[in-house]
Chains A and B, each alone.
Chain A
Amino acid sequence: MARNEAIPTQGERVEKLAETRLGEEGSRRTFLKVLGAGAAAVAAGCGDTAPTTEEFFRQHYKKLTDKEKQRIFRRVEEETLARTGVQTHISDPPPIDGVEFAYALNLSVCNGSRRCVEACARENNLPDDPEIRYIRVMEMEAGSLDFEEATANYDHDKVPAKDKFYLPVQCHQCDNPPCVRACPVGATWKEPDGIVVVDYSWCIGCRFCVVACPYFARRFNWTQPSVPPERINPNQGYLSNRPRFKGVVEKCTFCLHRTRKGRLPACLEACPTGARKFGNLNDPNSEIRKIIESKRVYVLKEDLATLPRFYYFFA
C-alpha cells in the first residue's frame, strides 16, 4: 500500500501523460510546451471529447475535499445532461467499516447464458460500439480447466452446450494487485473494502495495468464510448459507472455504487441459475463465508500470488 500513499503531483502526472502521448524521447523537450499550452496539446491526442480543462487539472481523487468532490459531481451531472439529456445522480459511497467484499461463483450451475455480461453492461453504462464488457464467459471442455483451449466467442442456439462448462471471468479485486503496481501515476488503487478502483480523470491511458493484469480484466477506451440516452443508468458512482472518455482504462468495481449501499451486484441479480454469490467476508454468518468454509473453493492463477477476492467452487 506504500506505493499508493505517494500520489504524484499534477506536474508529474502531466509529464507521464506527455510521455505516453508523445513518446518518451519527445517528452522531455515538449513537456514545458505541453504544460504551457494547457490541456489542449495533450488532449489533442485524446480526441474531441477529452475531459474539460478543469477536470484535467484537478487534484488526485484522494486529495479532494468533500466540497470539491460535490462541485465535481454536479459538474459531471450537468455535462451528462447537456450531452445526452439524461439527468443522472452521481454519488460516491465510501467503504463501509468492517466490510471486506468477496465474490464466489458456482461452476456447477453456471450455464453460460451471458445474462451477467449484459446486466453488467446496462448497470455500468458500457458502450456497445466499441463494445466493452467487463465479464467474459469462457467455454471449456467438460472435465478440463484448460484456458488455452477455452473460448469466449461461443455462439450456440442453446446453452449449456453438450460436454461443455462455463467459467465467467471478471476483475478479481486482488489483494496483491499487479495492475496497481504497474500504474505510474497512482490512478488506480485498492480501497479498504477490497475493491480496486480507477480515477478516470487521473488515468493517463498508458495501459500498463491492462498488460499487468493476469486475468485480462481491464478495458481501454480506444474511442469515445457512447451509450444511447435511453440506456444510461442514472444511478452513478464517481469511482464506478460515471461517464468515461476516450483514452482511459476501466474495469469491474463489484458495482460499488450499489454494493456500498448494501445492494447486491447487478451481475449477481441477473444470473438465472443463482451461480453468483457475494457478501462480506468479515461476517461469519454471510453466505460467502459459509461457501469458503464448507466448499472447496479455488482461485485462478493462484501461483501468481495475486490473492484474488473472486472464488470459484462446485456445489
Chain B
Amino acid sequence: MGRLALLLAAVGLTACGIGDEPQRLHTSHLPPAPSGSVRVEARQPLLPTFPCSRCHDDRTPDPTERKLTQFHTQKILKHGTLGGWCYRCHTKDDIDELHLSDGTRVSFNEAYELCGSCHGDKFRDWKAGIHGLTTGFWLGERVRRSCPACHDPHNPPFAPMTPEHPPALPRTVSSSEATPEPEANHGAE
C-alpha cells in the first residue's frame, strides 16, 4: 500500500505541473558569448602518397578510360554520372592540384571548393556548419572536416559500418521477450 500511495503521489506531483504555463528560460537579455573561429582540416598531410608528383613526374598522362592494373587499383570511379576519367578533377599539367570546371586550380586542402561546385546545397550547409563533422571547441577553435575526410571522392556514399553492441537487457528479460513486445510484461508487477 505504501508503494501505491507513493506512486499516486508521484503522478499527482507530475499532474500539478500540467496546468502551469510552461516558460522558456529568460537569459536572452545577456550578451551572447562568441562561438569562436573555424579551421578546415588540411587534407594534404593526411594523404599517404602526397605529393603525387613524386611518381607522376616520371610518367606521361594518359586520359583514356581503362582499368588500372598497376597503381591506384582500389580507386574505382563510381561517382554519379561523372565522366572524364581522372582529369575531370585532377589536373593533367600539375598532378598535385585539382581544378574546377572553369579551370581554376584548387589544392587538395581546398577540395571542398571542387565538391561544392556541383553539390551547392550541401556546400552551403557545410559552410554554415550544418553538414559535416566538426570537433574541438564550440567556444574557441572548431575543426571542420573537409568533404573527402568522410566521402571518398571516387565513391562518395558513406560506407556502411559495424554498429556498437545493442543495449544490455535487464537481467529479468530474455532476448526473445525483448524484441517483439517489450511492453508485454508490464501487467506482471
Contacts and interface: CB of A to CB of B under 8 A. Distances in A.
Contact of B160 (A23, A129, A130, A160): A160
Contacts of A25: 1-2
A176 B17 CA distance: 9
B164 A178 contact: no
Contacts of B14: 178, 181-182, 208, 211-212
Contacts of B46: none
A277 B178 CA distance: 32
Nearest to A117: B164
Contacts of A19: 6
Nearest to B125: A315
Contacts of B82: none
A156 interface: yes
Contacts of B36: 262
B167 A133 contact: yes
A315 B130 contact: yes
Contacts, number: 187
Contact of A280 (B18, B24, B35, B132): B35
Which residue of B3, B136, B158, B166 has the most chain A CB atoms within 10 A of its CB atom? B166
B145 interface: yes
Interface residues of B, number: 57
Contact of B27 (A98, A155, A208, A211): A98
B5 interface: yes
A176 B22 contact: yes
Nearest to B159: A158
A157 B18 CA distance: 44
Contacts of A130: 168, 171
Nearest to A135: B167
Nearest to A207: B10
A264 interface: yes
B76 interface: no
A106 B125 CA distance: 12
Nearest to B30: A98
Interface in B116-133: 125, 128-133
Nearest to B144: A274
A287 B133 CA distance: 12
Contacts of B23: 175-176
A136 interface: yes
A282 B162 contact: no
A278 B138 contact: yes
A131 B36 CA distance: 37
B168 A264 contact: no
B74 to A, nearest CB: 20
Contacts of A273: 133, 150, 158
Given A262-B139, A277-B130, A290-B128, A208 B13 contact: yes
A295 B130 contact: yes
B140 A274 contact: no
A217 to B, nearest CB: 14
A263 B135 CA distance: 9
A36 interface: no
B101 interface: no
B13 A155 contact: no
Interface stretch (A54-62, A84-92, A108-116): A108-116
A287 B37 CA distance: 12
B25 A259 contact: no
24 contacts: A25-B2, A97-B31, A114-B165, A115-B164, A118-B164, A152-B167, A153-B166, A158-B161, A159-B161, A175-B22, A176-B22, A178-B14, A182-B13, A206-B10, A264-B138, A268-B135, A269-B135, A271-B133, A272-B133, A273-B133, A282-B30, A286-B35, A290-B128, A315-B125
Interface of B: 1-3, 5-7, 10, 13-14, 16-18, 22-25, 27-28, 30-36, 125, 128-140, 142, 145, 150, 158, 160-169, 171, 175, 178-179
Interface of A: 19-20, 23-26, 96-100, 106, 109, 111-115, 117-118, 128-131, 133, 136, 151-160, 175-176, 178, 181-182, 184, 190, 192-194, 206, 208, 211-212, 259, 262-264, 268-269, 271-274, 277-280, 282-287, 290-291, 294-295, 305-307, 315
